[in-house]
């Protein structure tokens, strides 16, 4: 009896599970943070909540959008809980959108809330909302099968695969923010009617936004930095155009050990000539390869100098430079002092595999 009584007392001391059922939870599928411009409440926090439904088909997604202005992101999220009848769960939040104005005025250290929150996945996608994050979260594409599906398919390359779209994971953004010799890269999300347009890349230093690329420059960056193969090379040929569909792209970077280093980039591209005038390959196969390579090299060099003059390093040239030395603080200071004078040399070798299927 004494043993049974002791066991009963021990069972009474056990705590119950604090887990709430699914029907008592609101799953956050996207989060946006904007700069309000108000000194007392500088942040506007917006969340997109999924409303569960048994019907799963295109256009059947149902969401609820909540937004609030707050002194900090953490306080805003806590306050938003009073606007809903269920517990907020960020375990399924795969997309975080930061407003363009936030990167122009906000303090990046305030974004550490996302890092410290234990239920936020490190493999979530991060983007920039233009003109703001709230306008992006308001878009509900008709093709969405369930809430947040459109952006997840776009960034994850599970649906659309576009060379104009840059994908940035949350863990990579944090790494680039703290790593010396490498700066963050973010995709720009714009509204296009009832869908998204994601064809630009934004570069920032450790604190502020520095440069936004055009769609054509974003394609060049994606090919050279991320070795994105499903891309294209094009050039005018007489009164027509030649378009090469890229099947494979390889990039090698070498940095000299001079006082003012030279960055040499060797690019190898191969693909199918998808559009061209009739019988052009029979007349000048090697000449077209050489001209495509020279044109691509000039465009990439122009982009590299533009990025250098903006004082950002999204390619991670500084990190490569430090890897060839001991990588101490003096080496990094030297790289920062000579980076504005660094010269670039791009060499591209293009190989045309054929004209495709010609009937």
The pLDDT tens digits of the residues spanning 106-155 come to 666 667 788 888 888 888 999 999 889 999 998 888 877 777 778 888 88
Rounded to an integer, the average pLDDT of 84-89 is 84
User: Which helix (H) or strand (E) covers residue 113, if one does?
Assistant: helix 112-116
Asked whether the beta carbons of 82 and 71 are under 8 A apart, the reply is no
pLDDT, position 61: 64
Lowest mean pLDDT among 23-27, 239-243, 338-342: 23-27
Is residue 359 scored above 70 in pLDDT?
no
Residues 261 and 353: their CA atoms lie apart, in Å, by 36
Confidence tier at 55 by pLDDT (50, 70, 90): low
Confidence tier at 348 by pLDDT (50, 70, 90): very high
Rounded to an integer, the average pLDDT of 13-19 is 63
pLDDT, position 106: 67
Mean pLDDT of the chain: 86
Contacts of 217 by beta carbon, 8 Å cutoff, 6+ apart: 201, 303, 306
**Residue 124 CB: number of other CB atoms within 10 A?**
22
pLDDT, position 347: 95
**Residue 34 CB: number of other CB atoms within 10 A?**
26
Confidence tier at 19 by pLDDT (50, 70, 90): low
pLDDT, position 157: 75
To 5 degrees, how large is the angle CA 304–CA 316–CA 160? Answer: 80
Is residue 164 scored above 80 in pLDDT?
yes
Q: Which residue has the tokens 């974004």?
A: 111
- At residue 332, φ and ψ (nearest 5 deg) are -70, -40
Helix 215-225 and helix 280-309, axial crossing angle in degrees, nearest 10: 90
End-to-end CA separation in angstroms for the chain: 92
Q: Strand locations in 102-239, DSSP E?
A: 125-130, 185-192, 195-204, 209-212, 231-237
Q: What percent of the chain has pLDDT over 70?
A: 92
Tokens linked to 20: 């709430």
pLDDT, position 128: 93
pLDDT, position 265: 95
- Per-residue pLDDT of 294-347, as tens digits, reads 999 999 999 999 999 999 999 999 999 988 877 778 888 999 999 999 999 999
Tokens linked to 13: 């001391």
pLDDT, position 18: 58
């Amino acid at each position: 009896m004494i043993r049974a009584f002791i066991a009963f007392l021990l069972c009474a001391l056990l705590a119950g599970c604090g887990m709430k059922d699914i029907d008592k939870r609101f799953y956050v599928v996207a989060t946006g943070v904007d700069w309000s411009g108000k000194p007392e409440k500088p942040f506007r926090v917006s969340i997109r909540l999924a409303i569960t439904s048994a019907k799963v088909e295109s256009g059947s997604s149902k969401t609820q959008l909540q937004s609030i202005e707050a002194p900090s992101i953490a306080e805003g999220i806590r306050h938003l809980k009073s606007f809903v009848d269920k517990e907020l769960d960020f375990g399924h939040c795969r997309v975080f959108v930061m407003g363009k104005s936030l990167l122009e005025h906000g303090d990046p250290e305030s974004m550490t809330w996302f890092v410290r929150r234990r239920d936020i996945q490190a493999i979530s996608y991060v983007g920039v909302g233009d003109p703001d994050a709230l306008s992006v979260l308001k878009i509900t594409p008709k093709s969405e099968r369930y809430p947040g599906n459109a952006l997840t398919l776009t960034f994850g390359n599970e649906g659309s695969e576009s060379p104009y779209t840059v994908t940035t994971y949350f863990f990579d953004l944090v790494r680039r923010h703290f790593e010396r010799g490498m700066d963050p890269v973010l995709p720009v999300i714009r509204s296009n009617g009832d869908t998204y347009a994601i064809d630009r890349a934004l570069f920032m230093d450790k604190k502020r936004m520095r440069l936004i690329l055009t769609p054509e420059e974003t394609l060049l960056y994606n090919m050279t930095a991320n070795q994105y193969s499903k891309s294209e090379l094009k050039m005018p040929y007489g009164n027509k155009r030649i378009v090469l569909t890229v099947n494979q792209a390889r990039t090698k970077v070498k940095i000299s050990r001079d006082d003012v280093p030279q960055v040499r980039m060797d690019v190898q591209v191969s693909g199918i000539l998808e559009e061209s005038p009739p019988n052009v390959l029979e007349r000048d196969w090697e000449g077209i390869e050489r001209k495509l390579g020279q044109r691509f090299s000039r465009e990439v060099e122009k982009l590299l100098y533009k990025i250098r003059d903006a004082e950002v390093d999204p390619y991670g040239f500084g990190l490569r430079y430090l890897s060839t030395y001991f990588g101490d603080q003096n080496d990094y200071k030297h790289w920062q002092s000579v980076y504005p004078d660094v010269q670039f040399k791009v060499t591209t070798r293009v190989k045309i595999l054929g004209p495709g299927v010609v009937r």
